[in-house]
Chains A and B, each alone.
Chain A
C-alpha cells in the first residue's frame, strides 16, 4: 500500500536560494504535519494542517518558512532565502482525524527530505 511520500529526497541549495519540499500523505488522512530534524536530534514540530486549514504554525522558525496544503492532500513546505542553519531533514507525517487512541493519533512518516545549504 502507498505510504507517505516526499520529494525530493535530497536537496542541495546555495545560501539565499528558495526551496520547495513536497509531501504526499496517505490517501484519506486528514491531518498532516511537518517536522524538522537536525542531525542527531529528535524531530521538532513545524506546522500542522487539518484538511486544507493550517491550524498551527507555531513551530515555524521564521517568516522565511511557509507551508500550504491548498486542496487538503499534497502539501508543500517552502523555505525562502535559505540559511545554513536550515540544513536538516524535513519530515512529513499524516494521520487520521483526531480522536482517542492509537488509530487516530498514530502518525505515519515519509522518508524525509535532507536539505543541505551551502
Chain B
C-alpha cells in the first residue's frame, strides 16, 4: 500500500530561524510527484512547492526548499527565515502515476512561529 507519513504533529520555531518539516513516503511506483501545501486557520490549501521523482535538482520556491532524498523516500520541507505568517498546518502530498491522479496526503504538521 502506498503511504505518506508526517511524524511531527506540531513544531515551534523562532521568527527568522529556519525550520524543517519531515515527510516520508512508501511506494514502489517509480514515477510520482511530491507537493507541499500550507493550510492556514482560514482553511484554504495553498500550494508551496513541487518535486518530480525524476527531477535532478531539489526544488526551491522563494523561502521554501525541498530536501529530496529519493533513495530514503523522504521529501522534507525547509522554510528559511520564518515569519509569523508562516504559522499554519503544513501537508505533504503525493501524486502517484499509477493512481487515479488523486493526491494522497499526510496527517500534517502544525507549525507555530514564535515572535
Question: B22: shortest Cβ distance to chain A, in Å?
Answer: 14
Residues of B close to A110: CB separation below 8 A: 44
Chain B's closest residue to A110 (CB) is B44
- Contact status B50-A42, CB under 8 Å: no
- Contact status B100-A55, CB under 8 Å: yes
- Contact status B102-A45, CB under 8 Å: yes
Total chain A interface residues with beta-carbon distance under 8 A: 31
Q: Give Cα A72 to B72, complex, Å.
A: 40
Is A66's CB within 8 Å of the partner chain B? no
Residues of A close to B33: CB separation below 8 A: 101-102, 105
Stretch at the interface among B62-70, B77-85, B103-111: B103-111
| Given known A-B contacts A102-B33, A105-B33, A112-B44, A42 and B106 have beta carbons under 8 A apart | yes
Question: A30: shortest Cβ distance to chain B, in Å?
Answer: 11
Residues of B close to A33: CB separation below 8 A: 101-103
- Contact status A111-B102, CB under 8 Å: no
Is B11's CB within 8 Å of the partner chain A? no
Which of A48, A93, A109, A114 contacts B100, CB < 8 Å?
A: A48
- Contact status A91-B45, CB under 8 Å: yes
- B24-72 interface (Cβ within 8 A of A): 31, 33, 35, 37, 42-45, 47, 50, 52
Using a CB–CB cutoff of 8 Å, the interface residues on chain A facing chain B are 31, 33, 35, 40-45, 48, 55-56, 58-59, 89, 91, 93, 95, 98, 100-102, 105-112, 114
